[in-house]
Amino acid sequence: MNDFSIVIFGEPKMIDEPFIKTILQKGIEAKEKIRSEFSNISLAQLNWKTSAESRSIAQCLEHLAISHSTYFPALERITEGAYKMSFWERFSPFSAVCGRLLKDQLQEQPKKKFRAPTIIRPSVSDLTMEIIEHYHQSLDKFLQYISDCRNVDIDKTIITSPAIGIVTYSLRDAFQFLIQHEHRHINQAIRVKENNNFPTDMGRTTVMNPTKDPYDKELIKRKILNIKNDIEKLIRPICAERFFTDWYGAYDIDPKHLVYWICVQSDKMKNKLSENNELTTTLRELLEKHHYPPESQKFVHIGFESQETIDRESKGNWYYHFK
């Protein structure tokens, strides 16, 4: 047995850290697949399809990012110790059956095709290059939640499908079929690239600047991440709630296309931070501190959002709210 039990308040609690490590390793492998296969892809290649009914590489990645985000509200409550199972989650006789069925249906190598539920279907229109970065951020967040479940009883914790309200399954089964689902659609994206008709040269989207400063893509990304780290250092002492910083934008096309969101839990905290003029000034000074391109600084958005607003306006889905 990989799992072992610990006793909390007199009741045994089953912990399976090796299983969590295995899932995390599969997640890391997914990230490496994306980097190795699609790091030099062009925008036109990213949106190319084998047929009008098939998915592009971009749509495969967006589908996965949307899928992650539908589980974030439940995973956040679970990792914070605030999760309460509903009556149906506690007593449904079908949880184990649903889990087994989904693990069988969502194999990495598909036995047959399934139409995705509406809630997690990708856009029908073309996507921008930022979908790759957004996918990486989404997967990182998803894997962090999984890592934070090391001390959670993943067998007795039952959750409800974000897509079908009557379907329930254990957290263990969810992690298993979701990581299978991850590789299933990455493999689908790779098959698009390996298609005999896949275009070999459709104009790579790069910013050409022989000086390499400050418009080199990798240099700009390092600045963006350093700014993100400093934002979190500024917010941490004055925010009593759990928060995270999200960012996105087609900075590789033009550095002015950059957005930061400081994401807190309550509207009250969001309003408190957004009304702090001194904080706003200090946050914008970070752009200058890290030598972000001066002509782009005024276009960079730094804003605040709350989980309460996301729940109220976008059914808890951060991805759709910011889209």
Apex 165 CA angle, 161 and 168, nearest 5: 50
Please state the three-class secondary structure of 198-234 as a single string.
CCCCCCCCCCCCCCCCCCCHHHHHHHHHHHHHHHHHH
Distance CA 223, CA 315 (A): 33
Query: What pLDDT was estimated at residue 304?
Result: 96
> What pLDDT was estimated at residue 207?
39
Comparing C-alpha atoms, which of 318, 159, 282, 292 is closest to residue 223?
292
Q: How do the domains of the chain map onto residue ranges?
A: 10-194, 217-322
Q: What is the pLDDT of residue 237?
A: 94
Give the DSSP letter string of 62-89. Answer: HHHHHHHHHHHHHHHHHHTT-----HHH
Q: Return the pLDDT at 202.
A: 52
Facing residues of 169 across strands?
Answer: 159
Output the CA angle 49-50-54, nearest 5 degrees: 70
The continuous run of DSSP H or E covering 48 comes out as none
Better-predicted residue by pLDDT, 200 or 226:
226
Report d(CA 3, CA 192) in Å as an integer: 39
Domain 217-322: give its CATH code: 3.30.300
What radius of gyration do the chain's Cα atoms show? 21
What would the mean pLDDT of 207-213 be, rounded to a whole number?
40
Q: Categorize the per-residue pLDDT at 14 as very low, low, confident or very high, splitting at 50, 70 and 90.
A: low
What is the per-residue pLDDT across 134-174, written as a single tens digit (0 to 9) for each?
A: 898 899 999 999 999 999 999 999 999 998 999 999 999 99
Amino acid (1-letter code) at residue 272: K
Average pLDDT of the chain to the nearest whole number: 86
| pLDDT of 219 above 90 | no
> How much of the chain exceeds pLDDT 70, in percent?
89
- DSSP-assigned states of every residue in 269-315: HHHHHHT-HHHHHHHHHHHHHTT--HHHHTT-EEEEEEHHHHHHHHT
User: Is the distance from CB of 153 to CB of 24 less than 8 angstroms?
Assistant: no
Nearest to 235, CA basis, from 268, 271, 263? 263
| pLDDT greater than 90 at residue 322 | no
pTM of the predicted model over 0.85: no
- Band of the pLDDT at 61, cuts 50, 70, 90? very high
Q: What is the pLDDT of residue 247?
A: 87
Surface-to-core class of residue 320, CB atoms within 10 Å of its CB (0-12 exposed, 13-18 middle, 19+ buried): middle
DSSP 95: H
CATH number for the region 10-194 comes to 1.20.120.450
* 98 contacts 167 by C-beta, under 8 angstroms: yes
How far apart (Å, rounded) are the C-alpha atoms in residues 86 and 106? 26
* Beta-sheet pairing, 244-248 with 168-170: unpaired
